[in-house]
Amino acid sequence: MNNGKLAAVILAAGRGTRMKSEHSKILHPLCGAPMGCYPVRAARDLGCEPILMVVGHDSENVQQAFAAEKVGFAPQSPQLGTGHALLCAEEALNGFSGTLLLLCADVPLLTPATLARFLEFHRTRQAAVTVLTMQQDDPRGYGRILRDGEEIHRIVEEKDAGDQEKTISEVNTGIYLFESPLIFRLLHGIGNDNAQREYYLTDTVRAAREAREKVCAMTLADAREAIGINDRVQLAQAEAILRRRINETHMTQGVTFVDPDAAYVEAPVEIGADTVIHPGAHLQGKTVLGRNCVIEPGVVIRDSRIADGVHIKAHSVVQESEIGPHCQIGPMAHLRHGTILRGDNKIGNFVETKKADIGLRTAASHLTYLGDSEIGADVNIGCGTITCNYDGVRKYKTIIEDQVFVGSDTQLVAPVRIGRNSLIGAGSTIVRDVPADALALSRAEQKNIEGWRLRERKKKSDK
Ligand code: UD1
Ligand code: CA
């Protein structure tokens, strides 16, 4: 019966009314990725090929969001129930023969280990249908499992259940393994004679039994894995569980979290050992953090590479940047796209950088804007330095060579080049290139008018 082939169908056509959203609920993010991505990736990890999504509500946006995930789409319109949804994938499966994993796009927390165990369970029992079930203290809303030892003979929906059946605490998670094409033969024979006038996928259990096929059920050890997201309260609960799972993985690999419930690390982020993450840190996208770093409260890092021994102080924002070893950043620094710090740099409070390549040991400690710049090693950028890179039409480059000292409150009007080892006097507006080893000064000379204050005061009191 079993040829080892595995495909997946992910149901995603439902409306998700209780989210009160314009968008399909499966597009709502969970730890940075649309919730529907998690079942897709779980199916891929298990080796399913093809993976099909049944789409209906908001299907254009759903297809666009999942275009990069290498899944096929099967439209379901109108939505006549879960059984009808799977039938809509029949054509795209193109006569697939093997085991079919059925997942719901709004059940995102199933782990690869659980799914592997589920598949093993199904195959060793040579079942035609295996249902993933869970125990619920409050089973309301779920389909109840009518057991017969390891096998089951029926699933009864809440709305169709009698009082006795309603007390059953083992419920259907909505996740199944089916042998295909058998499942489609069963589905074609199912009607919609029930309280909701829907074609129920759950009715394939009874149909399989009537066809003398084996139907088993495996109970989840941890029911939280099968949380289905119907509203934003459940979305936040799922996020908290996933956040904890991600952070615990990092903790087992040597990362310290001062408060693991209050650090927001997206799934793809990598973090080196002995790094300390403080509360309120957000590590997003393709961020990679080295060893021995300190990430203080309120820091946001997106799509950046941070080398070892970097200290990012409170409320700094780092995006699409590359930070070399042993840099000190912030508090309240803003490193924007294309920032490269070569190493041992100090970027202090209220410093903004963008497309700035900054050499070893160079420091900009306070109140500065460095944009479209190439800055050498051992440069000191004084407080209040501004690269004037934009004339309202185009952007221009500022080049500062090694060992330059830029005095405080300097404006560098680009395009401009400051030669090696030169010094710019505080308060200068530099509009022309400065040669190496020079002193550049461009401020008006100071005038002192002696006794001026005394004379002014006398004039006023004479009036
Ligand atoms: C379903 C099960 C129930 C189980 C519960 C677990 C049936 C008849 N009942 O009930 O036994 O306890 O899930 O959460 O299957 N969908 C479509 N097209 C449709 C209808 C639904 O794609 O026409 C998708 C939804 O987007 C969702 C999934 O199928 O991802 C489940 O649908 P939902 O309406 O939540 O099913 P329940 O009535 O909760
Ligand atoms: Ca549901």
172 Cβ inside 6 Å of ligand 1: yes
pLDDT of residue 462: 87
* Cβ of 101 less than 6 Å from ligand 1: no
Q: What is the CATH number of the domain that holds 143?
A: 3.90.550.10
On whether both 37 and 113 belong to a single domain, the answer is: yes
Query: Which residue has 């589905």 as its token pair?
Result: 187
Q: Which atom of ligand 1 approaches the CA of 80 most closely?
A: 23
**Of the bound ligands, which one is closest to the alpha carbon of residue 142?**
1
The CB of 11 under 6 Å from ligand 1? The reply is yes
* Same domain, residue pair 178 and 135: yes
pTM of the model: 0.92
Q: Are 264 and 175 in a shared domain? A: no
Question: Quick one: pLDDT band at residue 201, thresholds 50, 70, 90?
Answer: very high
For residue 140, the ligand closest to its alpha carbon is 1
Position 237 pLDDT exceeds 80 = yes
Quickly state the pLDDT bin for 37 (edges 50, 70, 90).
very high
Q: Which ligand sits closest to the CA of 202?
A: 1
Residue 431 belongs to what domain range?
Answer: 256-440
> What span, in angstroms and rounded, lies between the C-alpha atoms of 246 and 360?
34
Taking each helix axis from N to C end, the angle separating 112-124 and 37-46, rounded to the nearest 10 degrees, works out to 50
From the CA of 76, give the closest atom in ligand 1.
18
In this prediction, residue 16 carries a pLDDT of: 87
**Which ligand is located closest to the Cα atom of residue 15?**
1
Whole-number Å distance between alpha carbons of 212 and 275: 58
pLDDT the model gives residue 243: 98
331 and 429 inside one domain: yes
Ligand 1 centroid to residue 69 C-alpha, Å? 23
Let me know whether 97 and 218 are in one domain: yes
Same domain, 172 and 269: no
Distance 210 CA to ligand 1 centre (A): 23
The response to whether residue 104 sits with its C-beta less than 6 Å from ligand 1 reads yes
The Å distance, Cα 157 to ligand 2 centre, comes to: 11
From ligand 2's centre to the CA of 106, what distance in Å? 8
Catalytic residue IDs = 366
State the pLDDT confidence band at 148, using cuts at 50, 70 and 90.
confident
251's CB contacts (< 8 A; 6+ apart) are: 257, 260
Confidence at 232, pLDDT banded by 50, 70, 90: very high
Within this chain, do residues 222 and 267 fall inside the same structural domain, yes or no? no
Asked whether 157 lines ligand 1 (CB < 6 A), one says yes
Give me the pLDDT at residue 3, please.
81
Q: Whole-angstrom Cα distance, residue 278 to residue 42?
A: 30
158 has pLDDT over 70: yes
| DSSP letters spanning 424-449 | E-TT-EE-S-B-TT-EE--SPPP---
User: Would you say residue 1 has pLDDT above 70?
Assistant: no
Q: DSSP per residue over 385-423, as a string? A: -EEE-B-SS-B--EEE-TT-EEPSS-EEESSEEE-TT-E
Does residue 293 carry a pLDDT above 80? yes
* Residues 339, 198 share a domain: no
Number of domains in the chain: 2
Q: What is the mean pLDDT of residues 224-231?
A: 95
> 204 and 328 share a domain?
no
Task: Answer yes or no: do 151 and 274 share one domain.
Answer: no
Instruction: Name which residue leads in pLDDT, 15 or 123.
Output: 123
pLDDT (average), residues 312-332: 98
CATH code, 263: 2.160.10.10
Examine residue 345 and state whether it is found in any structural domain, yes or no: yes
> What is the Cα–Cα distance from 372 to 389, expressed in whole angstroms?
7
What are the pLDDT digits (tens) for 62-78? 999 999 999 999 999 99
Nearest to 83 by CA among 212, 195, 203, 230: 203
Classify residue 179: in a domain, yes or no: yes
Q: Which atom of ligand 1 is the closest one to the Cα of 13?
A: 22
Tens of pLDDT, residues 387-445: 999 999 999 999 999 999 999 999 999 999 999 999 999 999 999 999 999 999 998 99
What pLDDT digit, counting tens, does each position of 174-186 carry?
999 999 999 999 9
Residue 311 has pLDDT above 60, yes or no: yes
Question: What's the CA gap between 267 and 287, in Å, rounded?
Answer: 10
State if residue 128 touches ligand 1 by the CB under 6 angstroms criterion.
Answer: no
Q: What is the pLDDT of residues 345-366, one digit of tens each?
A: 999 999 999 999 999 999 999 9
Same structural domain, 153 and 41: yes
State whether the beta carbon of 106 lies less than 6 angstroms from ligand 1: yes
Residue 2 pLDDT greater than 80, yes or no: no
Q: Give percent above pLDDT 90 in the chain.
A: 96
Q: How remote is the CA of residue 49 from the centroid of ligand 1, in Å?
A: 23
Mutate to test the pocket of ligand 1, among 17, 53, 104 (most ligand atoms within 8 A of CB): 104
User: Span 267-293, mean pLDDT?
Assistant: 98
Question: Are 328 and 184 found together in one domain?
Answer: no
Q: Report, as an integer, the average pLDDT of 74-95.
A: 97
